[in-house]
Amino acid sequence: MTTIPRPLTSRQIQILTIINDWQSSRRYSMTLQELSQQLGTSRTTAFEHVEALREKGLLKHSVGKARSLNLTPKAQKLLKQNISEQPQRNISLNDGIPLVGKIAAGYPIEAIEQNETLNLSECFGHDVFALQVRGDSMIDSGIFDGDFVVCRKTQTADDGRLVVAIVDEQNATLKRFFKEETCARLEPANENYSPIYTNNCRIQGVVVGVIRKI
């Protein structure tokens, strides 16, 4: 009897992304303890997640070796497909959201009800796509795990722009883009992460907005 593989949970995809981003930015593997800290869980819970992914052929690690958490080629292919598919899902911007008035973030103002619609296409323009953020490398730019970034499709970007980039044709990342003399620098916004320097960087879009559920 052929066993149908169970689909990955969002938590498992998050774990694979965290391990992949860590390896890409630091150029060495993370430890189980570091993974548990990133997840905000106990070391035992992190170990259980790792074992489940290892049984699915997506993670490999060496017993007795601290820095040995690595994605298998199968996992790298899965993440690549997941990222490459997401930009094709254009978000619907035409329905609009009821705009019922203004709210003060400083001194209180008089509440005056309006009967208008906030058209998101007017805010972000057309030819855009949305991605959900996984990880904390851009928290100092106000972008947190679970946020949605709205991106305009483009293959070029000015220095300092926040971009969605594909590195080495397999790793997708959200970083600020800078042109160096001999390569591109993808700069995180978290002191715990190092910049990524690469000669193989393909831009898929620039960020034009952030959406957050609270």
**pLDDT tens readout for residues 47-64:** 888 888 888 888 887 666
Q: Which of 65, 137, 141, 153 is catalytic?
A: 137
The overall longest dimension of the chain from CA atoms, in Å, is 69
Confirm whether 10-85 and 127-211 share one CATH topology.
no
| For residue 33, pLDDT beyond 90 | no
Backbone angles phi, psi at 53, to 5 degrees: -70, -35
Query: What value does the mean pLDDT of the chain take?
Result: 76
Give the start-to-end residue ranges of the domains of the chain: 10-85, 94-122, 127-211
Kindly report the CATH number that applies to the domain delimited by 127-211: 2.10.109.10
Tens digits of residue pLDDT in 79-98:
776 655 444 444 455 555 55
- Domain 10-85 matching CATH 1.10.10.10: the answer reads yes
Task: Identify which has the larger pLDDT, 12 or 7.
Answer: 12
Q: Which of 175, 179, 194, 213 is catalytic?
A: 175
Q: What is the pTM for the complete model shown? A: 0.54
Please say if 62 is a catalytic residue.
Answer: no
Tens digits of residue pLDDT in 100-146:
554 454 455 454 555 566 666 667 777 777 888 888 888 888 988 88
Please say if 77 is a catalytic residue.
Answer: no
